[in-house]
Amino acid sequence: MGKKVTMRDIAKRLSISTVTVSKALGEKDGVSESLRGTIKQLASEMGYSYTSLSENEQLLKDYNIGIIVASNYMQEGTYPFYFKMYQSIVRYLSSHKYSGIMELITPLMREKKILPNIASGKKVDGIIVMGQLNSEYLELLKGKKIPLIYLDFYDKNEQENSVITDNVYASYLLTNYVVEMGHEKIAFVGNIYATSSILDRYLGYYRSLLMNGIAVREDYLISDRGEDELFIDLKFPKDMPTAFVCNCDEIAYVLMEKLKESGYRIPEDISVVGFDNYTLAGYTSPKLTTVEVNIEAMTKHAVDLLVGQIEGRSVEKGRRLISGKLIIRDSVARHNKDT
C-alpha cells in the first residue's frame, strides 16, 4: 500500500502553502478560481482522499493576529488616527478569516521591557506593530520569532516588513504648494527625533526648500513634543514666518489657535498646512490644507503581507510606500512679497 497523500505533498509540488491547498479543497475564500482548479486536479492525480477532514480542520483553524500600539496613541481625547487604522485592520483580517486582538504598550512596559501578553506562548500567529516603538522594544518582539510587520513607521535597525505613507514625497508636494503661493519664510513644526514619519515629512519640506532655492533656517524648525511624546507649548521664532508646514493636522489646529490668540489672521497674515487629513481638518477655521493618508490601502497591504508570511508564501522584506493625496482648502493665501 502506497504512502498516504497529504495536503503538504500537494503544496510542495505546487510551491505553495498547505493553508492555500486547504482553502482550495475546502471551498474557502482566499484562492483564485484558476489556482483552485489546478490544486483540485493535482489532488485527484496524486490520489488525495477528500474524506480525511481532520487535516483540513487543523489547517483551517482560526488564526489570531496581535495588534500592538503605544498607549499614548490611543488615549481619550487624542487624535483617533490609530483607532481608525485599527478598525480598518480588523475589517481586512476578517476578509481573510483572521481575528485581531489589540494590546496597548504602556510607558512602563517599554521602560521595563515587558512584552505584551499576546506575544507569550502561542496566542497569536502574527503581530502588526501600529505606530512607532523604540528599537530596543522592537528587538524584544523580534526575539519571539513571530511573523511581524510594522505599520505607519519603520525602524533603522530592523529589516522587518513595513508599510508607510510616502511621507517624503507627500510633504515635498505640500511644501511646493506653499512655495508656489509665494511664500519663502516657511517654518516646519514637529520633533524630527520623535518618529520616522515626522523625520521623513521634514525631509520632504527640506527638499522642497532646497529645490526652490530657499535657505533652510535652523530657527524655523519648531519642536511640538518632548521626549515623553506629549505635546509642548509651541515657541514662535523672533522673525515670524509667513507660513507653517505642520507634521500633522492635530498640531496644525493647536498652532492655528495660538496664532489667533496672538492676533494673527489665517491665512491673510500667516498660512498653515497640516498632514493626515484628520476629520478636524475640515472643521478648522479656515479649513485646513493637508495631505490625505490612505489608511485603507496601508492596512490592506499590511494585512496581505502578514497573512502571506503566516501562510508560507514568499514575501520579500522591505518598506512599502503608499501615496498620499494633497487636499487644498482655505488655510493658505497667496503671499505678496512687497507687503
> Are 248 and 274 within 8 A, CB to CB?
yes
Maximum pairwise Cα distance, the chain: 94
Whether the Cβ atoms of residue 278 and residue 249 lie closer than 8 Å to each other: yes
Q: Which residue has the higher pLDDT, 287 or 282?
A: 287
77 pLDDT above the threshold of 70 = no
| Complete domains list, the chain, with CATH | 7-59 (1.10.260), 63-164+295-322 (3.40.50.2300), 167-293 (3.40.50.2300)
> In which region does residue 47 sit, left (phi positive, over 0), alpha (psi from -120 to 50) or beta (all else)?
left
The per-residue pLDDT for range 112-128, each reduced to its tens digit, is 999 999 988 778 989 99
Who wins on pLDDT, 174 or 145?
174
List strand residue ranges (DSSP E) for 71-200, in order: 98-105, 126-130, 148-151, 161-165, 186-189
How high does pLDDT run on average in the chain? Answer: 89
Three-class SS state of 189: strand
Task: Give me 189's grid cell.
Answer: 513644526
Q: What is the mean pLDDT of residues 286-299?
A: 96
> Over the stretch 215-224, which tens digit does the pLDDT of each residue have?
999 999 999 9
pLDDT at 114: 94
Calpha distance 36→253 (Å, rounded): 52
Q: What percent of the chain stands above pLDDT 90?
A: 62
Q: Where are the alpha helices (DSSP H) in 47-166?
A: 53-59, 81-95, 107-112, 135-142
